[in-house]
Structure 1
Amino acid sequence: MKKHIFLLLAVIASILQLHAATVDTITVRSARMGKDVKAVVVSPENKKATSTLYLLHGHSGNYASWLKTAPHIKQLVDTYGYMVVCPDGGFNSWYWDTEDKDYQYETFITKELVPFVEQQYQVGSDRVNRAITGLSMGGHGALYLAFRHQDLFAFAGSTSGGVDIRPFPNNWSMKKHLGDYHEKPEVWDAHTVIELTHLIKPQSLNLFIDCGTEDFFFQVNNKLHEKLTYMNIPHHYLTMPGKHNHEYWAKSIDFQMAFFAQCFQDQSVKK
Structure 2
Amino acid sequence: MVSLLRTARRALLALAAASAFASPAEAHAQTTGRVRVDTLWSNALRTRKQFVVYLPASYDREPARRYPVAYYLHGLWGDEWNWVRNGRLDAAMDSLVAAGGPEMIVVMPDGDDSWYTTWNALVTIDACQRDSTRKEPAAAYCVPWPHYDDYVARDLVAKVDSSYRTRADRRHRGIAGLSMGGYGAVSLALRYPDVWSAAASHSGFVAPLLDAAGPFDASRPPRYATDVAAMATRWRDYWASLPFAFGRDTMGWWARDPGRIAARLQRTDAARMPALRLDVGAGDRFLDQNRALHFTLDSLRVAHAYAEHPGAHDWTYWRAHVPESLAWLGARLADGARP
TM-score if structure 1 supplies the norm length? 0.86
Counterpart for residue 81 of structure 2: 64
The answer on 1:239 being equivalent to 2:308 is yes
Separation in structure 2 between the aligned mates of residue 87 and residue 178 of structure 1, nearest angstrom: 21
In the TM superposition, what are the counterparts of 1:17-32 in structure 2 within 5 Å? 19-32=31-44
Gaps of 5+ in 1: 1-16
The answer on 1:185 being equivalent to 2:207 is no
Counterpart for residue 268 of structure 1: 336
Cα shift readout 1:54-75 (whole Å, capped 9, x = no counterpart): 0000000011111112224344
Cα shift readout 1:184-209 (whole Å, capped 9, x = no counterpart): 11111001212212124434211111
One-letter amino acid matched to 1:93: S
* 1:97 corresponds to which of 106, 118, 123: 118
Q: Secondary structure at the match of 2:39?
A: strand
In the TM superposition, what are the counterparts of 1:1-271 in structure 2 within 5 Å? 19-47=31-59, 48-77=65-94, 79=97, 80-90=102-112, 92-98=113-119, 99-100=121-122, 101-167=144-210, 169-170=231-232, 171=235, 172=238, 173=240, 174-180=242-248, 184-198=249-263, 199-200=265-266, 201-204=269-272, 205-265=274-334, 267-268=335-336
Matched residues, number: 249
Deviation at 1:49, TM superposition (A): 4.5
Separation in structure 2 between the aligned mates of residue 135 and residue 49 of structure 1, nearest angstrom: 27
Q: Secondary structure at the match of 1:236?
A: strand
Deviation at 1:102, TM superposition (A): 4.2
Cα shift readout 1:125-173 (whole Å, capped 9, x = no counterpart): 1111100010000000011111100011111111100001124722323
Deviation at 1:175, TM superposition (A): 1.1
Separation in structure 2 between the aligned mates of residue 149 and residue 81 of structure 1, nearest angstrom: 24
- The sequence identity of aligned pairs, in percent, is 27
Q: Secondary structure at the match of 1:125?
A: coil
Check whether the contact 2:89–2:322 (CA below 8 A) recurs between aligned residues.
no
Separation in structure 1 between the aligned mates of residue 315 and residue 337 of structure 2, nearest angstrom: 35
Separation in structure 2 between the aligned mates of residue 226 and residue 52 of structure 1, nearest angstrom: 29
- Of structures 1 and 2, the larger Rg is shown by 2
Counterpart for residue 13 of structure 2: none
Separation in structure 2 between the aligned mates of residue 208 and residue 179 of structure 1, nearest angstrom: 27
Check whether the contact 1:133–1:142 (CA below 8 A) recurs between aligned residues.
yes
Structure 1 moving runs of 4+ over 6 Å: none
- Alpha carbons of structure 1 residues 176 and 264: separation in structure 2 relative to 1, 3 Å: closer
Deviation at 1:268, TM superposition (A): 2.9
TM-score if structure 2 supplies the norm length? 0.69
Q: Secondary structure at the match of 1:169?
A: helix
